[in-house]
Amino acid sequence: MPGLTIGDTIPNLEVDTTHGRMKLHDFVGDSWAIIFSHPGDFTPVCTTELGKMALQVEEFEKRGVKLLGVSCEDVRSHLVWIKDIEHFT
């Protein structure tokens, strides 16, 4: 089966994010990571999912888990979407 599944090591991609440019392995480090893959910004289910997870960031951090949302849109779109997520959360 192509693609990634639970427990796979994600490639060390260098990506542009809402927090600047980063390499995924540098972001994750020795932590666990939950990576959310979304088909596009502003979808209702994805907006709700990211908003609810964002409310729990501190609890995940206590357990050594980092959260990362990935979508095919550009960073500019993500920055606008963050405002939408905050509004509905």
Q: Where are the domains of the chain?
A: 32-87
Which residue numbers are catalytic?
A: 46
CATH topology of domain 32-87: Glutaredoxin (3.40.30)
Strand-pairing partners, residue 20, are 17
Which of left, alpha, beta for 26 (phi over 0: left; psi -120 to 50: alpha)?
A: alpha
What are the pLDDT digits (tens) for 13-40?
Answer: 999 999 999 999 999 999 999 988 888 8
pTM for this structure?
Answer: 0.81
Instruction: List alpha helices for 21-69, DSSP H.
Output: 24-28, 44-54, 57-62
Q: Is 72 in contact with 53 (CB distance < 8 Å)?
A: no
Tokens of 65: 């888990």
